Structure 1
Amino acid sequence: MNWNYQSMLPEDFAPDSRVWIYQSSRLFAMSEALQIEDLLNDFVSHWKSHGTPVKGFGTLLFGQFIVLMADENATGVSGCSTDSSVRLIKQIEELYKVQLFDRQLLAFQVKEKVQLLPLPQLQHAVDNNFITPDTLYFNNLVQTKEELENKWMVPVKDSWLTRRIAIKA
């Protein structure tokens, strides 16, 4: 799999553009992915904040991560416009019978695939070398375009997960 997602992000958005990442509880089928891309494109083309168009971007990365981005240098994103994006994500959850708000489900790059792991099983996965300190973790807590580009896929040892696990020396 080509992990170079940075080339798929818009170049004309400011580094401090706000980012929201929603991780699906499963990989979307190709037909679903195409439909979701259409939903995202339609949403961002009509996204408004207090009546003013939002400079927005939406995409599906690796068939499993919905990324929404708003360049607030163009238009600030209000609570109402954020709420509208959350409604879209909830609509996608219902349409495709997936979970997109489960922050207890972690994603890792293992054997060239996105692998999901419930947080309570993390230590067991580390103890059995399924997850190592160098395994890439999808840090869906990134908040800006710059963080998305540089801190989204990070080794476990460089993430907040180190506070949750004991790594053998």
Structure 2
Amino acid sequence: MKAHHSELIPDDFAPDSRVWIYQSPRLFFLSEALEIEKMLEAFVADWKSHGTPVKGYANLFYGQFLVLMADETATGVSGCSTDSSVRLIKDIEQRFGVPLFDRLMLAFRVKDKVEMVPLAQLPYALENGFITPDTLYFNNTVQTKVELETKWLIPLKNSWLASRHLKPAETGN
């Protein structure tokens, strides 16, 4: 997990390109990852909005995050093209038996590994030192390429979770 994810993001996409992130609760096996990458490549190659090709990008990051990106400077992404991406994610969910739409499962980088913590267990994880305000959090709410590069992997204390789960002293305020 040493590689920085921003090195894998294409340079030729506009900073405001739209981004969608779906996380798996587990690391995909190598055979699954290879199959998923083929599915993502095929989807992006045929991604269209009202018949016009979408400049898209898709990749599997850290073995368990599916990232889709659309550069809307050439072609806007419509409801139908977004629906087609959701169908792809649902196909992957079904094929590999993993939930990819669970927003109540949080991902953190702990000891150079992705660790999952249910939102309801976050206070317990903090109280017992499993994670700290400085633990890196995968902020899957990012919406653009520039946010993916700069705000996806951030300290917990800088995330939307801080105001709900940390004391002011822990956030540096």
Moved beyond 2 Å, runs of 4+? 166-169
C-alpha distance in 1 between matches for 2:60 and 2:74: 23
Kept in 1: contact 2:23–2:65 (CA 8 A): yes
1:27-66 alignment runs, 5 A limit: 27-66=27-66
1:1-169 alignment runs, 5 A limit: 1-167=1-167
Kept in 1: contact 2:157–2:166 (CA 8 A): no
C-alpha distance in 1 between matches for 2:131 and 2:3: 18
C-alpha distance in 2 between matches for 1:3 and 1:67: 16
| 1:57 partner SS | strand
Tell me the TM-score normalized by structure 1. 0.98
| 1:84 partner SS | helix
Kept in 1: contact 2:54–2:75 (CA 8 A): yes
Q: What CA deviation, in whole Å up to 9, does each residue of 1:17-70 have, x standing for no partner?
A: 000000012110011001000000000000000000000000000000000000
Moved more, 38-47 or 158-167: 158-167
C-alpha distance in 2 between matches for 1:143 and 1:14: 13
Q: What CA deviation, in whole Å up to 9, does each residue of 1:108-150 have, x standing for no partner?
A: 0001100000000000000011110100000000000000000
C-alpha distance in 2 between matches for 1:134 and 1:166: 11
C-alpha distance in 2 between matches for 1:142 and 1:105: 16
C-alpha distance in 2 between matches for 1:86 and 1:145: 19
C-alpha distance in 1 between matches for 2:22 and 2:64: 8
How far off is 1:2 after superposition?
Answer: 1.5
C-alpha distance in 1 between matches for 2:152 and 2:24: 16
Percent of paired sites with the same residue: 65
* Unmatched runs of 5 consecutive residues or more in structure 1: none
Q: What CA deviation, in whole Å up to 9, does each residue of 1:54-101 have, x standing for no partner?
A: 000000000000000000001100000000000000000000000000
* Unmatched runs of 5 consecutive residues or more in structure 2: none
